[in-house]
Amino acid sequence: EIVMTQSPATLSVSPGERATLSCRASQTISSKLAWYQQKPGQAPRLLIYGASTRATGIPVRFSGSGSGTEFTLTISSLQSEDFAVYYCQQYNNWYTFGQGTKLEIK
Amino acid sequence: QLQLQESGPGLVKPSETLSLTCTVSGGSISNSTYYWAWIRQPPGKGLEWIGSVYYSGTTYYNPSPRSRVTISIDTSKNQFSLKLTSVTAADTAVYYCARRNIVVFGFDMWGQGTMVSVSS
């Protein structure tokens, strides 16, 4: 099983600032990585696939990068609606998710 | 607008079988672009893929809890289902049905989720 490790567990950032979330795979997964956003009481929403391609309707302030084992999700200028939990997920070998990063208001 | 809706009991007794159905509306479950999946999330924890099914009936399962899981599809009803046998408290979770897009490669549509508790 490919283990996905996200850091930090919690990230405190002020609105308008940049947020950088990290995800590491236990073995190489090429660019077979997706990012999701989950708000309380809601299902996850697909943000990014292929490590860097935004899903339909996702604002340009969300960007993804990386390949191999190290990946990053960047939110360039945080809006109030961006405070949520973010998960990375690999699809190189079945599907496994990271444990999540909670993005909270500073 | 495609929608997915989970249905089934919210409470299951230990050692019994958990059965859930996902009804797809606003689109055909037989569309070859998509796989259909079950994903769960224990309270306060992360996400776990349980398994997926294609419209042809081909299934793929997470190795754990592989031996206890059966996923099936009924294209005539536009539904797919999950059965999880011999449940324990560890199976308590929100269960989501979701669509996996073979072009996008992510789970791009989700149901709202249904909470299932395992308790006597």
User: Which residues from A are below 8 Å from B112, CB to CB?
Assistant: 42-43
Q: What is the mean pLDDT of residues A28-36?
A: 97
Contacts 24+ apart (CB under 8 A), B41-48: B41/B93, B41/B94, B41/B96, B41/B113, B42/B90, B42/B92, B42/B93, B43/B92, B43/B93, B43/B94, B45/A99, B46/A87, B46/A97, B46/A98, B46/A99, B46/A100, B47/A36, B47/A44, B47/A87, B47/A89, B47/A97, B48/A97, B48/B93
Optimal mutation site among B107, B108, B114, B115, interface A, most CBs of chain A within 10 A: B107
- What pLDDT does residue B104 have? 82
- What pLDDT does residue A6 have? 98
In tens digits, chain B (120 residues) has pLDDT values of 899 999 999 999 999 999 999 999 999 999 999 999 999 999 999 999 999 999 999 999 998 767 899 999 999 999 999 999 999 999 999 999 999 998 888 999 999 999 999 999
3-state secondary structure chain B: CCEEEEECCCEECCCCCEEEEEEEECCCCCCCCEEEEEEEECCCCCCEEEEEECCCCCEEECCCCHHHEEEEEECCCCEEEEEECCCCHHHCEEEEEEEEECCCCCEEEECCCEEEEECC
Q: What is the mean pLDDT of residues A78-93?
A: 96
In terms of Cβ atoms closer than 10 Å to its own Cβ (0-12, 13-18, 19+), residue B48 is middle
- What pLDDT does residue B103 have? 87
Angstroms from B3 CA to nearest CA on chain A: 13
> Chain A contact for B63, CB < 8 A?
yes
> Chain B contact for A87, CB < 8 A?
yes
Q: What percent of chain A has pLDDT over 90?
A: 99
- What pLDDT does residue B2 have? 93
Contact B49 A36 (CB under 8 A): no
Q: What is the mean pLDDT of residues A41-61?
A: 97
**Model confidence at A61: pLDDT above 90:** yes
